Structure 1
Amino acid sequence: MQLSEEDEDDYNLSLSKFESMLKTNKVLFFDSEEFEEIILHYLDMGKASLAKKALKLALEQHPKSTGLKLVQVEMLVYDDKLDIAEKMLNELFAIEPHNEEIYIQKANIYSKRDNHEKAVELLKMALKYTDDYADVYNLMGMEYLFMDNLELAKESFIKCLEEDLEDQSALYNVVYCFEFLDQNEEAIEYLNKYIDKNPYSEIAWHQVGRLNYGLKKYEEALRAFDYSTLIDDEFLGAFMEKAKTLERLKRYEEAIESYNRTIELDDPTSYALLRIGKCHEKLGNKALALKFFNKTVHEDPLLDKGWIAITDFYVRQKNYKKALFYVNKALSIDNQNRFYWKRFATINKEMNLFEEAEFGYRKAVEYGDYQLDTWLFWVDILQFQGEFESAIQTLLQASEYFPEEYEVEYRLAGLYFMIHNDKKGKFHLSNGLRLNFKNHTLLEELFPAVWLRRMVQNAIKKDKK
């Protein structure tokens, strides 16, 4: 509820008067509405003991106040004393059967008991007696969310916004429902109608931008983020999304400006610093790119994307010694990061340090990298080292993740032929030819000695027919 300036002054006066009373132990009189505001203020602040103290004094001064008793019920529900709260509500219902707050608090109790259908029934009853339709529709929307009924939740939040265009939580929730239901186009259509009624809603423009970005409509997204940041020139999230959109549009200098605005509005985030570095790299500003990548890891040494950016930067320059230096620094901070280990392996492979490369690929897989190319790089190094049995075991492990992959099958065929297990060699060669005959020359590239064997050539000729 938005208080007028005069009400705000009265509210602050009541609070300071109450806190002064607590310090002096001198009992002062407050009307019941003042007490309600004081109690709810302390509840909102998470100061439950002060709220209880205020409630105790309030009920001593106004023992028959329904409003205060409903606040007491709210506190009982908050403390999970649901049976006592329900008993009190039944007593209040006998006195004031048309008080919407009684239905709302009863709904709250049923919601806490996970009986959301009953909670919705009671909220529908509250709609008959309330003047604050927006609040009740919002509560109904939340109950439908608990029930995973996203369509009815969406309808409720839309009704809430029809009553109160400024309810930002309902606006976020209605967009959430549209997205969950995979109705992004419909969400944009709804938000455009909402903007017709409330054109200065930076939240609505931001959501339109976000949804268009998700649909890869970057020009439309940028237009929406522009409006959002014009309405609120301190809207950090909109500036961040605008920067990402400008990157997608390859407008890197403008993207840097927008990322810099986020840094002006708040402390620099490692994400913004990283993206500024990426933009500078795209613009060919290598020194500046490196400067921002270093700032990224200084700001957040645990952000793997920062270390990866520096490592990849040096890999692209073919400066493998520097790349290895930085990936080792990253591993000293987090030696269970599969992305670091894969880069460690790749860099060592480029430097012809095959033992280290094999170790890196093994560690990458150990820590959860099950990408096909990781398995294949690892196996090819094992084969190069003459570790045929280890290579076979590794490929059999890989085949659990890639059961119908010709690159695995041709390698298994070649390795089995190399250890003179012709039966298994023929089996896997047959699988490879079945899966992808066109690329059967992979066997020649990886196993030239095996390729020349008559048994292999006959199998290929037979399959070709």
Structure 2
Amino acid sequence: MNENFEDRDEVLDIVRRFEQMLSSNEPVFFDLADFENIIDHYTSNTQYDKALQACEAAIALYPFSTELLIDRSQVLAMKGEYTAAADQIENVALLDPDNPDVAVTRGIIATQKGLFSEAVAYFLSAVERFPERDDIHFNLGLAYQSWQKYKSAAKHYKQSLRLNSDNDVAVQELLYCLEVSDRLEKNLEFFRRFTDDDPYSAIAWYNLGQAYFRAGKFDDAISAFDYALLIDAKFYEAHGYLASTYVSLERYRKAIEEFELSYEPGNPTPEALCNIGECHEKLAEWDKARRFYQKAIDLDATMDEAWFGIGIVLIAQNRAFEAIHFFRKAVALYDEGLEYWMALAAAEYQVGNIVSAIEAYDKATQVAPDNKDGWLNWSIILYEQGNFDGAIDLMRNAVEIQPAEAELHYRLCAYLLAAGRYREAYETLENALVLDFDKHRLLFDYFPELESQKALARLIEQYRK
């Protein structure tokens, strides 16, 4: 097995022992390196409260360790406790003024506070003295990325990975920066070079697979993940990504096989179970889908995707009334989910809960005002209730937010015609025809009787190219 995975298993074992110590309240010995690993594990998983708890436990045992005091300052900064973080690092600076981590920590605090040019200056001064430290380049990348300077961020993430290719967070951030700046395709060679340099590195193949996956080159991604798994069959994350690649290709049976290998035997993760549920859902295997979604919820009751999944399964089985409970649970757990609000609104409408449906569409348009379907579906309810003015006002609001969306203009025109407001309707129609002439058929899809209106036909003909 690759040495890195042995290291990773060791770290997880140390973290488990630390958590057992906390729950049993019985003292267990950890050396300084153990504590560093525990703190790193928590911070890389953004579990800052646990990281701070580990810092406090470590400092109680090793009160004179500047490394631990620096860790504590960095964790405080990540938690947003900037004053305490700054006080801590200034105390360290008095004890050890030449310590490069003083500049790094000041940079982390500045990044967290949004003072990006100040942060970059701190990190650059640290890089000058210690160009071989991957973590400094990584932090420089984060500062530039937060500053929305994606090219500079990518440059430093790349350097960080050249020095330490095991940093999966650096891989994710680099891929994000390359995607945002439309440079992913051009940079695939960067990831390929690692596999050329070390063809027996599972991490190198895994990283290349992720790059291909993000670039939409799914067959290449499958090959790369397969190589990673040939080198290390227990590389659970690679199984997970390979499964996601099969999902993208709609090969759900293969995806299920890989998701089942994406965790330690007998120790499934709620994410894997939820993903398996979704694959069964795509295969219209409703009972199996529901069973796996429920297993995910049993392991983690806060898994909104699984609650939503059960709702979708019930809708497919024409059980909208039961589905509402599950959709409501999903939006309670994650109220920024447009898909959740749209599904809840549709289910409420289906069972005749008009007021609840309108409230859910209202939330959907707040969450994603640039999604036209929320506005359209909401307006249909108002129109069907005979509230023409309400439907018109809603569409005017939508058009203001998305002036280039022709479908909204056509729908507004239809409502104005229905309300007998012809002059406004024709003005609106002219705007719609200019934006997208071909979509004028939508008008007759909404109201077939309009095809017989001669004035309308004449206006449309004027704009025919």
For the criterion TM > 0.5, the same-fold answer is yes
Counterpart for residue 386 of structure 2:
386
Alignment of 1:3-152 (within 5 A): 46=55, 47-52=58-63, 55=64, 80=87, 102=98, 104=100, 107-108=103-104, 111=107, 114=118, 116-117=120-121, 120-121=124-125, 123-125=127-129, 134=132, 136=133, 138-139=135-136, 142-143=139-140, 146=143, 149-150=152-153
Alignment of 1:431-446 (within 5 A): 431-446=431-446
Q: Deviations over 1:265-304 (max 9, x none)?
A: 4743333223223333455644323322333444444434
The Cα shift of 1:382 comes to 2.3
Largest Rg, 1 or 2 = 1
Counterpart for residue 309 of structure 2:
309
Residues 345 and 358 in structure 1, CA contact (< 8 A), matched pair in contact too: no
Aligned length: 385
Q: Deviations over 1:314-351 (max 9, x none)?
A: 444xx42x2331223432564656534422443465x5
Q: Secondary structure at the match of 1:168?
A: coil
Of 172, 177, 180, the match for 1:180: 177
Q: Rate the CA distance shift 1:124–1:137 in 2: closer, same or farther, 3 A.
A: farther
Q: What is the distance in 1 between the residues matched to 2:128 and 2:270?
A: 48
Residues 418 and 450 in structure 1, CA contact (< 8 A), matched pair in contact too: no
Counterpart for residue 328 of structure 2:
331
Q: Rate the CA distance shift 1:215–1:332 in 2: closer, same or farther, 3 A.
A: closer
Counterpart for residue 160 of structure 2:
157
The Cα shift of 1:240 comes to 0.9
Counterpart for residue 427 of structure 1:
427
The Cα shift of 1:449 comes to 5.8
The Cα shift of 1:250 comes to 4.3
Q: Which amino acid aligns with 1:104?
A: P
Q: Deviations over 1:37-59 (max 9, x none)?
A: 9767667762113222xx4xxxx
2:207 matched to 1:207? yes
Q: Which amino acid aligns with 2:323?
A: Y
Residues 277 and 289 in structure 2, CA contact (< 8 A), matched pair in contact too: yes
Q: Rate the CA distance shift 1:258–1:460 in 2: closer, same or farther, 3 A.
A: closer
Q: What CA RMSD, in Å, does the superposition of the two structures yield over aligned residues?
A: 4.1
Q: Secondary structure at the match of 2:268?
A: coil
The Cα shift of 1:207 comes to 0.8
Q: Deviations over 1:99-144 (max 9, x none)?
A: xxx47367557747846546645654567xxxxxx4x465455446
Counterpart for residue 362 of structure 2:
365
Q: Rate the CA distance shift 1:289–1:191 in 2: closer, same or farther, 3 A.
A: same
Residues 307 and 326 in structure 1, CA contact (< 8 A), matched pair in contact too: no
The Cα shift of 1:394 comes to 1.4
Counterpart for residue 7 of structure 1:
none
Runs of at least 5 residues in structure 2 that lack an aligned partner in the other structure? 5-29, 40-53, 75-84, 111-117, 146-151
* Greater mean deviation of Cα atoms: 391-400 or 367-376: 367-376
Alignment of 1:189-338 (within 5 A): 189-265=189-265, 267-283=267-283, 285-316=285-316, 319-320=317-318, 322-331=319-328, 334=331, 338=338
Q: Which amino acid aligns with 2:377?
A: F
Counterpart for residue 79 of structure 2:
none
Q: What is the distance in 2 between the residues matched to 1:435 and 1:310?
A: 40
Residues 414 and 447 in structure 2, CA contact (< 8 A), matched pair in contact too: yes
Identity %: 23
Q: Which amino acid aligns with 2:353?
A: E
Q: Secondary structure at the match of 2:404?
A: coil
Q: Secondary structure at the match of 2:204?
A: helix
Q: Rate the CA distance shift 1:432–1:302 in 2: closer, same or farther, 3 A.
A: same
Residues 413 and 429 in structure 1, CA contact (< 8 A), matched pair in contact too: yes
Q: Which amino acid aligns with 1:168?
A: D
* Greater mean deviation of Cα atoms: 110-119 or 189-198: 110-119
Q: Secondary structure at the match of 1:238?
A: helix
Q: Rate the CA distance shift 1:369–1:328 in 2: closer, same or farther, 3 A.
A: farther
Q: Rate the CA distance shift 1:174–1:246 in 2: closer, same or farther, 3 A.
A: closer
Q: Which amino acid aligns with 1:356?
A: N
Q: Rate the CA distance shift 1:50–1:401 in 2: closer, same or farther, 3 A.
A: same
Q: What is the distance in 2 between the residues matched to 1:438 and 1:73?
A: 66
Q: Rate the CA distance shift 1:108–1:341 in 2: closer, same or farther, 3 A.
A: closer
TM-score, normalized by length of structure 1? 0.67
Residues 305 and 330 in structure 2, CA contact (< 8 A), matched pair in contact too: no
Q: Secondary structure at the match of 2:62?
A: helix
Counterpart for residue 22 of structure 1:
none
Residues 358 and 381 in structure 1, CA contact (< 8 A), matched pair in contact too: no
Q: What is the distance in 2 between the residues matched to 1:381 and 1:442?
A: 18
Residues 106 and 119 in structure 1, CA contact (< 8 A), matched pair in contact too: no
Q: What is the distance in 2 between the residues matched to 1:437 and 1:147?
A: 44
Counterpart for residue 64 of structure 1:
none
Q: What is the distance in 2 between the residues matched to 1:77 and 1:307?
A: 39
Q: What is the distance in 2 between the residues matched to 1:230 and 1:202?
A: 8
Counterpart for residue 33 of structure 1:
none
Q: What is the distance in 2 between the residues matched to 1:387 and 1:73?
A: 65
Q: Deviations over 1:119-173 (max 9, x none)?
A: 645654567xxxxxx4x46545544654563365256436635xxxxx634x763
The Cα shift of 1:263 comes to 4.3
Q: What is the distance in 2 between the residues matched to 1:272 and 1:221?
A: 20
